[in-house]
Amino acid sequence: MTGTVGNYSSGMILTVWSISSSVSIRSLKRQVLAMAPENKVLCGQEPTGGEVKMAFGKNKLRIILMILLGLTGLVLFYFSLRPVVTPAVEEGSLPPQGVTFLEGRYEGWEGTKRIWSLDAEEIFRTADGRRISFQGIKDIRFFQEDGRALFVRADQAVLDLKRNILTLDRVEGELNGGELLTDKMELNLEAKTIKCSQPLSLVKEELQLEAKQMEGNFQTEEYRFFEDLAVVQKNHRFWGRSFDYYAKEDRFEIQGAVEVELQL
DSSP 112-137: TEEEEEEEEEEEEEETTSSEEEEEEE
DSSP assignment of 56-73 equals: HHHHHHHHHHHHHHHHHH
Query: Which of 72-86, 104-118, 125-139, 156-170 is least confident?
Result: 72-86
Q: Tell me the pLDDT band of 32, cut-offs 50, 70 and 90.
A: very low
Going 115 to 210 to 234 to 223, the CA torsion angle's sign is positive
Residue 245 has pLDDT above 70, yes or no: yes
Give the whole-angstrom CA distance, residue 226 versus residue 240.
8
Q: In which band, very low, low, confident or very high, does the pLDDT at 149 lie, cut at 50, 70 and 90?
A: confident
43/235: higher pLDDT? 235
Each domain of the chain, given as residue ranges in start order, spans 98-262
Three-state SS sequence of 95-109: CCCEEEEEEEEEEEE
Does the structure show a pLDDT above 50 at 2? no
pLDDT at residue 213, as a whole number: 97
Smallest CA-to-CA distance from 205 within 228, 179, 181, 231 is with 179
User: Mean pLDDT score of the chain, rounded to an integer?
Assistant: 78
Mean pLDDT value of segment 89-114:
82
pLDDT band at 105 (very low <50, low <70, confident <90, very high): very high
- CA torsion through residues 195, 201, 203, 208, sign: positive
At 41-79, the pLDDT tens digits run: 344 444 444 544 555 566 777 788 888 887 887 777 666
As a CATH number, domain 98-262 is: 2.60.450.10
Q: Specify the pLDDT at position 236.
A: 86
Short-list 149, 145, 124, CA closest to 134? 124
Is 103's pLDDT higher than 50?
yes
Q: Report the range of poorest mean pLDDT among 114-128, 140-154, 210-224.
A: 140-154
Q: Assess whether pLDDT exceeds 70 at residue 173.
A: yes
The CA distance from 188 to 66, in Å, is 76
Give me the pLDDT at residue 90, please.
59
Mean pLDDT of 223-232: 94
Residue 28's φ and ψ, nearest 5 degrees, are -65, -40
**Statement: residue 187 has pLDDT above 80:** yes
Q: Say which range, 10-14, 75-79, 214-218, has the weakest mean pLDDT.
A: 10-14
**Single-letter code of the amino acid located at 115:** I
Radius of gyration of the chain (CA): 54
Burial level of 245, CB count in 10 A (0-12/13-18/19+)? Answer: buried
- Give the count of alpha carbons within 13 A of 219, CB side only: 11
Which amino acid is it at 201? S
